[in-house]
């Protein structure tokens, strides 16, 4: 047997076979227990990069492991094929984004195949396919019908150069457009929103039941941003406290109603609708200048702490009556108060809020402490707990008690109530883009917004379009697309030209995978029921908030709308987020130009070595530096396994009675089974690889030992090693298995450890004196506490350290450890 390990030939052969034989195709009615493994479907960017390789290798290991363990495993793959890069390329080259995208899908798909990852390709889903668009639009209309989709005026990022709205991600840190470099402005536009805020509380609560990384859950909790407090109203007055008639009262939200006696002014957001009504004549000019300034400045400028605070706020000339004291306080505008959160207005308590403190100092406003500060406190605003002072009927109370009392007061007076606020906003899904899924409505002069009838779906963007260098969506200028008739009254009407955010596509693709051929609905509840929720979802931590939050929202909403099963409240039971790949400290990325092409490694050392190297380099959730990925070591290891399995190492096996040495290696073999199972379950692939290496080293010593290997023992050890390695190194193990045993290793059952071989009868007892190891003694595993102690005391080495000193205490933890304290 002189076959050389030739990864290229082997890998190609097996990849073809898995594909042709449909090894990993699975039916919905498969009688085996179901398991759904999913890697986040990729944006088709061309050939796979190392991040893809890492991601899909993890997924593939699970697919193969679960399959060998007797599960019907759903392992689909698709492409998140709408998005900006294709459109930008179209603007540059004039080519239709579909051509560009389809080419890249072919590239990416073939490089995913080359790493040996297996999928049920019959289920492939692409966001831009007409069928998928049809059902995305169908879902949108369901949402619209249910009031979960709505249109309203909203301030958006507007690029004057591109003549279009930009997503927040497209605005650079300095407030300029990533494409044109122009300064991005705020503009009010009529935009489509999805009402994710309806689900804020559920999205928060249901996090508790998910087996997700704690940091991802924390990020989602912060993003949802629940805060408890009170909302109440304050009537506008003049400077002496006389009520101003005909103006609505000012609504404010606060988490600290207990500090209201310390309110020395109030602040409204510059965009607040009441501003025009309450500004005094002598302040009108200053207020208008301030509003204009705030409007021009980008969010980034506004959020920064740069710039002096006295310039960032202005007195309105109006006052409101503090309901707690009955006295008027001045009302200011300041850009640190945001219209989008709470009520867009606050009561300001400088003594107990640092930001209010800073503003008060800059504007010469009074500061009244309402909570006694601790003795050693030398800060400015004090936000901790303490006894209330200067607060009349709240005096003497602690924080929590006082909050309750203050809310009770507001409710009694009928001016406010306890209130929960969320930071989460409704999801703005409108994009003024061409390469996205069109929003399926028409605008009719007499009927208003009218949904496109479902039998007319999908609404597809036309092919004969010209991409303008300005970046403006060609849909807006396409007469054939634009003009239509109103489905309701039949009069001439205009199509909506906004397309949906691509996150909409990725919010339900995992459901479509359960039944991608369904022609009557996006998926049937039965199909969803048979596979959902996804048992293991795998992807990058960069999606911790947006994608994972939107997908959760869609699942809940579709469940409530009766599209998805009623009991399906969460899409992803278990989530794993892999670390990033870096090179020399930088994130590996196209824009940084520091990519290492997987192809070169696949050509040289092969997919199995590359996969193994990714598994071995460190904990999967940690970032990895490519420098640390030891491809050569892994390739060398696979060579060792190859030679061992081919019988090229050591003495020829013979048939004979099993010796203690043979049994010893068998024990190692069965311990390995247990170890690998444990490691796979806890995502500790790096240590699993280490134990493969360790066992292989042991086998090398075994076959090279004087006694030589016993045939049956060696065969069992090598076969078991191959089976355990099959998920990680699928090609080489399949090849060796076929050569040795015939048949297909990936259809074999996962090995089970023989309990009899796991029983250990001797153990190394560690003997410590004052916690320092002084001796090691081989003992019976069932040794008693007393026997262990006696053995320890009898040890010569131990005696020399005791030097006759009095033993104060003996800790005996048989069979592992005895500690003698002197």
- Within residues 122-161, the interface with RNA by CB under 7 A covers none
- Ramachandran angles phi, psi of 184, nearest 5°: -80, 135
**Residue (162 or 617) nearer to RNA, CB:** 617
**Residue (287 or 613) nearer to RNA, CB:** 613
Say whether residue 783 binds RNA (CB under 7 A): no
**Residue (356 or 535) nearer to RNA, CB:** 356
Listed residue (324, 318, 329, 339) closest to 415, CA to CA: 324
With CB under 7 A as the contact rule, which of the stretches 100-108, 488-496, 557-565, 812-820 interacts with RNA? 812-820
**Residue (63 or 346) nearer to RNA, CB:** 346
- Nearest distance in Å: CB 807, RNA: 11
**Residue (339 or 482) nearer to RNA, CB:** 339
DSSP annotation string for 591-656: TTT----HHHHHHHT-HHHHHHHHHHSS-TTS-EEGGG--HHHHHHHHHHHHHHHTT-SSSPPB--
Say whether residue 617 binds RNA (CB under 7 A): yes
**Residue (418 or 487) nearer to RNA, CB:** 418
* Alpha-helical segments (H) within 414-545: 479-482, 502-505, 509-512, 525-531
Strands (E), 406-502: 416-421, 427-428, 430-431, 441-444, 448-451, 483-485, 492-495, 499-500
Neighbouring C-beta atoms of residue 150, cutoff 10 Å: 14
> Residue written as tokens 């668009």?
133
Say whether residue 412 binds RNA (CB under 7 A): no
Say whether residue 622 binds RNA (CB under 7 A): yes
Say whether residue 311 binds RNA (CB under 7 A): no
> Residue written as tokens 């995208």?
101
Binding residues with RNA: total (CB under 7 A): 88
Say whether residue 470 binds RNA (CB under 7 A): no
User: At a CB cut-off of 8 Å and minimum separation 6, what does 129 contact?
Assistant: none
Range 320-334 burial, b when 16+ CB lie within 10 A, else e = bbbbbbeebbbbbbb
- Within residues 658-717, the interface with RNA by CB under 7 A covers 675, 678-679, 682, 684, 686-687, 689-690, 693-694, 697, 700-701, 704
- Within residues 743-782, the interface with RNA by CB under 7 A covers 764, 766, 768, 770-774, 776
Question: The tokens of 327 are what?
Answer: 């006295």
- Within residues 209-248, the interface with RNA by CB under 7 A covers 214-215, 218-219, 222-223, 225, 227, 229
Say whether residue 793 binds RNA (CB under 7 A): no
Parallel/antiparallel/unpaired status of strands 499-500 and 430-431: antiparallel
- Nearest distance in Å: CB 51, RNA: 15
- Nearest distance in Å: CB 34, RNA: 27
Say whether residue 549 binds RNA (CB under 7 A): no
Binding mask 318-357 for RNA (x = CB under 7 A): -----------------xxxxxxxxxx-xx-----x-x--
Report yes or no: 547 and 503 within 8 Å, Cβ to Cβ.
yes
- Within residues 32-71, the interface with RNA by CB under 7 A covers none
Q: Which of 24, 43, 79, 253 binds RNA (CB under 7 A)?
A: 253
- Ramachandran angles phi, psi of 453, nearest 5°: -60, 140
With CB under 7 A as the contact rule, which of the stretches 274-282, 446-454, 615-623, 708-716 interacts with RNA? 615-623
**Residue (134 or 543) nearer to RNA, CB:** 543
**Residue (119 or 616) nearer to RNA, CB:** 616
Binding mask 288-307 for RNA (x = CB under 7 A): --------------xxxx--
Can you tell me the distance from the alpha carbon of 701 to that of 698, in angstroms, rounded to the nearest whole number? 5
Can you tell me the distance from the alpha carbon of 342 to that of 284, in angstroms, rounded to the nearest whole number? 25
- Nearest distance in Å: CB 404, RNA: 16
With CB under 7 A as the contact rule, which of the stretches 151-159, 638-646, 714-722, 736-744 interacts with RNA? 638-646
The three-point CA angle 185-192-90 to 5° equals 65
User: At a CB cut-off of 8 Å and minimum separation 6, what does 285 contact?
Assistant: none
With CB under 7 A as the contact rule, which of the stretches 89-97, 186-194, 485-493, 636-644 interacts with RNA? 636-644
Can you tell me the distance from the alpha carbon of 334 to that of 314, in angstroms, rounded to the nearest whole number? 7
Strands (E), 452-574: 483-485, 492-495, 499-500, 536-540
């Amino acid at each position: 047997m002189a076959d050389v390990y030739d990864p290229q030939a082997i890998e190609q052969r097996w990849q073809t076979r898995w594909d042709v034989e449909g090894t990993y195709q699975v039916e919905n009615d498969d009688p085996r227990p179901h398991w759904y493994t999913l890697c986040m479907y990729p944006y088709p960017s061309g050939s796979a990069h190392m991040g893809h390789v890492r991601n899909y290798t993890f997924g593939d290991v699970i697919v193969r492991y679960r399959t060998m363990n007797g599960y019907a495993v759903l392992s689909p793959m698709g492409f998140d094929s709408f998005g900006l890069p294709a459109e930008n390329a179209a603007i540059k080259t004039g080519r239709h984004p579909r051509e560009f995208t389809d080419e890249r899908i072919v590239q990416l798909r073939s490089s995913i195949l080359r790493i040996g990852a297996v999928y049920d390709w019959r289920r492939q889903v692409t966001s831009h396919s007409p069928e998928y668009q049809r059902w995305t639009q169908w879902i949108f209309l369901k949402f619209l019908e249910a009031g979960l989709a709505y249109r309203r005026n909203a301030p958006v990022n507007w690029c004057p150069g591109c003549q279009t709205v930009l997503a927040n991600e497209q605005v650079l840190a300095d407030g300029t457009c990533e494409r044109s470099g122009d300064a991005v402005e705020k503009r009010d536009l009529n935009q489509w929103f999805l009402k994710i805020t309806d689900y804020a509380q559920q999205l928060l609560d249901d996090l508790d039941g998910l087996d997700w990384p704690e940091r991802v859950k924390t990020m989602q909790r912060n993003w949802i941003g629940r805060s408890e407090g009170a909302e109440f109203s304050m009537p506008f007055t003049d400077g002496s406290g006389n009520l101003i008639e005909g103006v609505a009262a000012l609504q404010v939200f606060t988490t600290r109603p207990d500090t209201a006696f310390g309110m020395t002014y109030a602040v409204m957001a510059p965009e607040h609708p009441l501003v025009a009504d309450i500004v005094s004549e002598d302040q009108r000019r200053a207020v208008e200048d301030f509003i204009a300034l705030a409007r021009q400045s980008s969010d980034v400028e506004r959020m920064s702490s740069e710039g002096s605070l006295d310039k960032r706020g202005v007195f309105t000339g109006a006052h409101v009556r503090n309901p707690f004291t009955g006295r008027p306080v001045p009302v200011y505008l300041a850009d640190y108060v945001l219209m989008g959160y709470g009520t867009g207005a606050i009561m300001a308590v400088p003594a107990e809020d640092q930001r209010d403190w800073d503003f008060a100092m800059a504007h010469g406003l009074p500061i009244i402490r309402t909570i006694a500060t601790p003795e050693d406190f030398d800060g400015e605003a004090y936000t901790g707990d303490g006894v209330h002072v200067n607060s009349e009927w709240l005096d003497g109370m602690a924080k929590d008690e006082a909050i309750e009392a203050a809310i009770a007061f507001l409710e009694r007076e009928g001016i406010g109530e306890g209130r929960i606020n969320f930071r989460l906003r409704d999801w703005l899904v409108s994009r003024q883009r061409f390469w996205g899924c069109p929003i399926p409505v028409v605008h009719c002069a007499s009927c208003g917004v009218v949904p496109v009838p479902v039998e007319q779906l999908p609404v597809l963007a036309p092919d004969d379009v010209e991409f303008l260098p300005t970046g403006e969506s060609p849909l807006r200028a396409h007469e054939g697309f634009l003009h239509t008739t109103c489905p309701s009254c039949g009069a001439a009407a205009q199509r909506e030209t906004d397309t949906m955010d691509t996150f909409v596509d990725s919010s339900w693709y995992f459901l479509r995978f359960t039944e991608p051929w369904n022609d009557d609905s996006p998926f049937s509840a039965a199909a969803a029921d048979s596979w959902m929720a996804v048992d293991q979802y795998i992807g990058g931590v960069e999606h911790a908030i947006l994608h994972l939050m939107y997908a959760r929202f869609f699942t809940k909403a579709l469940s409530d709308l009766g599209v998805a099963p009623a009991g399906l409240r969460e899409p992803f039971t278990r989530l794993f987020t892999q670390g990033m790949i870096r090179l020399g400290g930088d994130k590996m990325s196209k824009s940084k130009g520091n990519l290492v092409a997987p192809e070169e490694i696949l050509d040289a050392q092969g997919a199995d070595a590359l996969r193994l190297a990714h598994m071995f380099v460190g904990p999967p959730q940690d970032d990895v530096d490519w420098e640390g990925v030891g491809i050569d070591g892994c390739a060398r290891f696979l060579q060792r396994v190859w030679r061992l399995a081919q019988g090229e190492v050591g003495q020829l096996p013979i048939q004979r009675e099993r010796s203690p040495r043979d049994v010893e290696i068998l024990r190692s073999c069965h311990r390995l089974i247990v170890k690998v199972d444990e490691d796979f379950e806890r995502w500790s692939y790096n240590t699993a690889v280490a134990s493969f290496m360790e066992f292989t080293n042991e086998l090398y010593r075994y076959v090279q030992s004087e006694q030589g290997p016993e045939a049956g023992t060696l065969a069992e050890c090598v076969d078991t090693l191959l089976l355990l390695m099959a998920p990680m190194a699928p090609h080489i193990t399949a090849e060796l298995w076929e050569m040795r045993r015939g048949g297909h290793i990936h259809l074999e059952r996962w090995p089970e450890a023989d309990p009899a071989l796991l029983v250990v009868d001797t153990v190394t007892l560690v003997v410590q004196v004052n916690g320092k190891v002084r001796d090691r003694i081989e003992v019976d595993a069932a040794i008693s506490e007393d026997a262990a102690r006696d053995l320890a005391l009898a040890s010569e080495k131990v005696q020399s350290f005791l030097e006759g000193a009095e033993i104060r205490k003996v800790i005996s933890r048989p069979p592992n450890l005895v500690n003698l304290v002197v």
